[in-house]
């Protein structure tokens, strides 16, 4: 079976971008395009800054006016095209390195052209060249990113071999010195700007990830842990109980005749019962206990450090609290809500799944016995000893 990655690799470089595999592809694309546009704006700003410094050099007599004008015209035309490509969304319909090649050509050829026209600014041009290589962050693929740096290093190497002997800083006048400091500061500001941009994105991404992790483990209706969330907590409690040797109790709580509540009072009333139970169980269990919605109208409680006798007492209290809740104030026409609870104390070396199975069996025993009660499962029977084996 071919994966999306295989498909991407087999497509020609200039093929249109395939539709996003994300559930909400449009939102993802919009976010991605907004970030690319912001990054492009910072690139535009740095080109504008570089050009204004060159105008300064020209006014101070370090570069000829026509050379600077040619550089300006080249960069303005290239950047104008790239800005159109981003603003119109055209670039987002193509794969790398399409537009990216244009982008790099504008910067690298522009700076190399400047070297020819104004060799006395070789040092400054080199700094600009290296600073512009940060445009590689606009690349959409690792290959394009790597190509940027290879091209930049090659261009910088050529510039050094070619212009090396003439490379000196124009320090004869204060204006020349200040402009050179401006070039260096511009390069530093560009690096700081990019790092800040990506740190900001990294922060937002990690925040979004935390939200997603939270969503994956919580139940939308009740706000408590969902099955995945409570099972993870239970696994952790069980590992801890295994190390400490302290008893861990697992309880399953099921609403009695919940279907009847839904049928007689509506699904919305059923939902209110579930929400109220989620809040009630959280409020009336210890801080070390964990509560989750195990499924439908069933809740799971993980009660660490709890013996069978303590579990029975605490769960009986919970059951009575549910029964005595003023349900009429929660959904109109309520005549009462009760729950049946089955519990099991996790045996040493017993898996949580096995303890849940025993709690479930106890729950169904409680249902069969008339509901609205707490039933504790008997300890797991020791494995039968095969005939002939001495113990
Ligand atoms: N309102 C609401 N109902 C749900 C939800 N999830 C499951 N249910 C309903 O819960 C009901 C469970 O019914 P049954 O499994 O027959 O259990 P019961 O009526 O509680 O009967 P006993 O457990 O034997 O007392 C079904 O009607 C489901 O549709 C939910 O999120 N909201």
Q: In whole angstroms, how far apart are CA 119 and each of 53, 66, 216?
A: 16, 14, 60
Task: State which of 160, 181, 214 marks the end of a domain.
Answer: 214
Residues 327 and 190 in one domain: no
Examine the pLDDT at 10 and tell me if it is beyond 60: no
Does 259 sit in the ligand 1 pocket, CB within 6 Å? Answer: yes
**Helical H runs in 60-97?**
65-88
Measured by CA distance, the residue closest to atom 26 of ligand 1 is 259
Average pLDDT on 188-196 reads: 83
Does 20 sit in the ligand 1 pocket, CB within 6 Å? Answer: no
Domain extent at residue 29:
10-214
* Percentage of the chain lying above the pLDDT 90 cut: 42
Residues 60 and 195 in one domain: yes
pLDDT, residue 35, reads 79
Strands of the sheet with 290-295, listed across from one edge: 290-295, 298-304, 248-255, 339-346, 374-376
Average pLDDT on 154-172 reads: 75
> Are the C-beta atoms of 376 and 343 separated by less than 8 Å?
yes
pLDDT band at 21 (very low <50, low <70, confident <90, very high): low
Does 302 sit in the ligand 1 pocket, CB within 6 Å? Answer: no
Examine the pLDDT at 322 and tell me if it is beyond 50: yes
Secondary structure of the chain: what % helix, strand, coil (to 5)? 65, 10, 25
Task: State which of 214, 236, 270 marks the end of a domain.
Answer: 214
219: in domain: no
pLDDT, residue 330, reads 92
Residues 269 and 153 in one domain: no
Residues 142 and 179 in one domain: yes
CB atoms within 10 A of CB 94: 17
Examine the pLDDT at 114 and tell me if it is beyond 90: no
pLDDT, residue 128, reads 81
Residues 202 and 288 in one domain: no
Closest CA to 255 of 311, 323, 301: 323
Closest ligand 1 atom to 269 CA: 1
Average pLDDT on 283-294 reads: 96
Whole-prediction pTM? 0.68
pLDDT, residue 171, reads 63
pLDDT, residue 13, reads 42
> Are the C-beta atoms of 356 and 387 separated by less than 8 Å?
no
pLDDT band at 145 (very low <50, low <70, confident <90, very high): confident
Does 186 sit in the ligand 1 pocket, CB within 6 Å? Answer: no
pLDDT tens digits, 71-105? 899 889 888 888 888 788 777 676 655 566 777 77
Task: Provide the ipTM.
Answer: 0.96
45: in domain: yes
Residues 48 and 173 in one domain: yes
Q: In whole angstroms, how far apart are CA 2 and each of 8, 11, 12, 220?
A: 10, 13, 17, 35
Residues 36 and 112 in one domain: yes
Residues 370 and 233 in one domain: yes
Average pLDDT on 356-382 reads: 91
Q: In angstroms, rounded to a whole number, what is the distance separating the alpha carbons of residues 307 and 313?
A: 10
User: Distance from the CA of 268 to the center of ligand 1, in angstroms?
Assistant: 12
220: in domain: no
Domain count, the chain: 2
Residues 203 and 169 in one domain: yes
CATH number of the domain that 280 lies in? 3.30.70.270
Task: State which of 214, 236, 265 marks the end of a domain.
Answer: 214
Q: What's the alpha-carbon Rg for the chain, to the nearest Å?
A: 35
387: in domain: no
Residues 233 and 208 in one domain: no
Does 254 sit in the ligand 1 pocket, CB within 6 Å? Answer: yes
Closest ligand 1 atom to 271 CA: 1
User: Distance from the CA of 326 to the center of ligand 1, in angstroms?
Assistant: 21
């Amino acid at each position: 079976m071919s994966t999306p990655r295989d498909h991407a690799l087999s497509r020609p470089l200039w093929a249109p971008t395939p539709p996003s595999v994300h559930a909400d592809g449009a939102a993802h694309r919009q976010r991605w395009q907004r970030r690319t546009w912001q990054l492009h704006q910072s690139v535009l700003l740095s080109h504008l800054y570089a050009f204004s410094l060159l105008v300064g050099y020209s006014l101070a007599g370090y570069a000829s006016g026509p050379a600077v004008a040619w550089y300006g015209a080249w960069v303005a035309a290239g950047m104008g095209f790239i800005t159109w490509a981003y603003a119109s969304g055209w670039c987002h319909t193509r794969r790398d390195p399409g537009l990216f090649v244009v982008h790099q050509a504008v910067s690298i050829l522009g700076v190399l052209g400047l070297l020819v026209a104004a060799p006395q600014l070789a040092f400054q041009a080199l700094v600009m060249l290296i600073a512009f290589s940060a445009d590689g962050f606009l690349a959409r693929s690792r290959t394009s990113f790597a190509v940027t740096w290879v091209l930049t290093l090659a261009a910088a190497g050529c510039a050094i071999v070619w212009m090396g002997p003439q490379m000196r800083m124009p320090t004869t006048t204060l204006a020349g010195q200040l402009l050179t400091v401006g070039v260096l500061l511009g390069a530093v500001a560009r690096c700081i700007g990019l790092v800040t941009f990506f740190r900001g994105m990294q922060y937002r991404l990690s925040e979004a990830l935390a939200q997603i992790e939270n969503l994956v483990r919580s139940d939308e209706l009740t706000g408590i842990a969902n099955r995945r969330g409570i099972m993870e907590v239970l696994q952790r409690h069980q590992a801890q109980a295994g190390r400490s040797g302290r008893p861990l109790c697992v309880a399953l709580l099921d609403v009695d005749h919940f279907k009847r509540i839904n049928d007689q009072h509506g699904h919305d009333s059923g939902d209110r019962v579930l929400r109220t139970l989620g809040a009630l169980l959280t409020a009336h269990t210890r801080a070390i206990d964990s509560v989750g919605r195990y499924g439908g109208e069933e809740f799971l409680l993980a009660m660490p450090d709890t013996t069978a006798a303590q579990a029975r007492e605490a769960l009986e209290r919970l059951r009575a609290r549910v029964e005595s809740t003023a349900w009429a104030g929660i959904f109109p026409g309520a005549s009462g809500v009760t729950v049946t609870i089955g519990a099991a104390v996790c045996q040493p070396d017993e898996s949580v799944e096995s303890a849940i199975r025993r709690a479930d069996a106890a729950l169904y025993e409680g249902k069969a016995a008339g509901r609205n009660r707490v039933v504790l499962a008997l300890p797991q029977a020791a494995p039968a000893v095969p005939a002939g084996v001495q113990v």
